[in-house]
């Protein structure tokens, strides 16, 4: 699968579908799809590193930075304009990543995974313990967002959130696909295979890691802002390891080799979770674990690979001359 080319057919069909679908969806489903698209942006950040064979168990740290950007902005400045806060969240996420990345770009594999975990759990600890600042486990309320100063009427708020998130997701898909098509994106893929070859060809591996880390931080920040407004309430769990684990799971489920795979994975995941927490709440993590085991052992490409093999089989069949 060549992720440097955006598959035109599925993108147009999927985009059109997501544009039309809110007209028929009930409100609770609209909420789920919005949240799924918001988290998809953070999943893309994890998928970037998975392409380089690096796992991170701490990507939720930037997700939390984005969410608390909104929280503090509302709490201190009574300012909740979603369109303005999106780039601010991206900038703060990227800034935090630029700091943490100074350390992180030196590490790979197990160390990369666990150091990320350590950093995100440190942030979780701070958010949890600084009650006077963050509200501790109570979290912070976010309130109704504005859109460039405009306050949408209550009955259309869900639609405003939906289309804003869809628009941002579209922009992010384009940006990430441009990033992957750049020389740096190609080096990123090579990083998992042979680092020494990268150094020989004149690129610094640390530089590749560092830039990717900053991009992943910005993505996490954007995702956090979107999710904070969608849910309307933020808690320290945004930075908890389970959140990071969910992101990794979704990237695997959807298939990290493509840009669209995580989107499908994210929507599937939110629906699975809604029904699972209704019918078997105590076996939820076990369900995730078993699905993940099955994907790792039998279908490493995730849902997207299943779609691809179906599509190519269909194409082959339709190109055969009938009756020949």
Interface residues toward another protein, by CB under 8 A: 50, 53-55, 57, 103, 106-107, 109-111, 113-115, 117-119, 121-122, 125-126, 129-130, 192, 196, 241, 245, 248, 252, 282-286, 288-290, 292-293, 296-297, 300
Q: Exposed (0-12), middle (13-18) or buried (19+): which is 324, by Cβ within 10 Å?
A: exposed
- We find the least distance from the C-beta atom of residue 237 to another protein, in angstroms, to be 13
Nearest-approach distance from CB 293 to another protein, in angstroms: 5
Residue 140: DSSP 8-state = E
Asked if residue 274 lies in contact with residue 32, where contact means CB atoms within 8 angstroms, the answer is yes
Helices (H) and strands (E) in the chain, counts: 14, 2
Tell me how far, at minimum, the Cβ of 184 lies from another protein, in Å.
20
Using DSSP bridges, classify how beta strands 140-141 and 233-234 pair: parallel, antiparallel or unpaired. Answer: antiparallel
In sequence order, what DSSP letters do the residues of 245-313 get, joined into one string? HHHHHHHHHH-TTSSSHHHHHHHHHHHHHHHHHHH-GGGHHHHHHHHHHHHHHH-TTHHHHHHHHHHHH
CB 86 within 8 A of CB 225: yes
Dist CA 225 CA 179 (whole Å): 22
Minimum distance from CB of 146 to another protein (Å)? 35
Indicate left, alpha or beta for 323 from its phi (over 0: left) and psi (-120 to 50: alpha).
Answer: left
* Shortest distance, position 259 Cβ to another protein, whole Å: 19
Which CB, 22 or 136, lies closer to another protein? 136
Length of the chain: 324
φ, ψ of residue 152 in degrees (nearest 5): -70, 145
- Taking the least distance from each CB to another protein, the nearer of 111 and 314 is 111
Task: Give whichever of 251 and 263 is closer to another protein, judged by the CB atom.
Answer: 251
Smallest separation, CB 15 to another protein (Å): 30
Minimum gap (Å) between residue 73 Cβ and another protein: 25
SS3 147: strand
Q: Count the alpha carbons within 13 Å of 151 in the hemisphere toward its beta carbon.
A: 5
As measured in angstroms, the least distance from the Cβ of 125 to another protein is 5
- Closest to another protein by CB, 70 vs 113, is 113
CB nearer to another protein: pick between 57 and 162: 57
Nearer residue to another protein within complex by CB, 285 or 312: 285
Pick the closer one to another protein by CB: 30 or 108: 108
Q: Which is nearer to another protein, 131 or 156 (CB)?
A: 131
């Amino acid at each position: 699968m060549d992720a440097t080319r955006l598959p035109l057919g599925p993108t147009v069909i999927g985009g059109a579908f997501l544009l039309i679908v809110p007209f028929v969806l009930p409100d609770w489903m609209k909420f789920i799809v919005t949240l799924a698209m918001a988290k998809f942006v953070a999943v893309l950040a994890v998928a970037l590193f998975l392409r380089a064979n690096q796992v991170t168990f701490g990507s939720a740290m930037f997700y939390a930075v984005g969410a608390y950007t909104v929280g503090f902005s509302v709490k201190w400045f009574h300012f909740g304009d979603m369109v303005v806060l999106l780039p601010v969240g991206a900038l703060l996420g990227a800034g935090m990543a630029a700091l943490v990345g100074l350390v992180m770009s030196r590490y790979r594999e197990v160390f990369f995974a666990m150091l990320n975990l350590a950093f995100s759990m440190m942030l979780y600890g701070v958010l949890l313990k600084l009650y006077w600042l963050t509200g501790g486990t109570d979290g912070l309320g976010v309130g109704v967002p504005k859109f460039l100063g405009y306050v949408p009427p209550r009955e259309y708020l869900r639609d405003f959130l939906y289309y804003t998130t869809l628009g941002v997701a579209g922009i992010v898909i384009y940006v990430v696909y441009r990033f992957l098509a750049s020389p740096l994106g190609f080096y990123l893929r090579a990083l998992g295979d042979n680092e020494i070859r990268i150094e020989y060809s004149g690129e610094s591996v640390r530089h590749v890691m560092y830039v990717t880390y900053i991009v992943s931080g910005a993505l996490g920040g954007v995702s956090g802002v979107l999710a904070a407004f969608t849910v309307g309430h933020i808690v320290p769990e945004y930075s908890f390891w389970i959140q990071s684990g969910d992101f990794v799971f979704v990237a695997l489920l959807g298939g990290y080799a493509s840009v669209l795979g995580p989107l499908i994975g994210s929507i599937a995941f939110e629906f699975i979770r809604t029904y699972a927490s209704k019918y078997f709440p105590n076996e939820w993590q076990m369900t995730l674990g078993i699905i993940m085991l099955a994907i790792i052992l039998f279908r490493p490409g995730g849902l997207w690979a299943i779609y691809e093999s179906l599509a190519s089989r269909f194409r082959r069949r339709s190109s055969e001359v009938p009756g020949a």
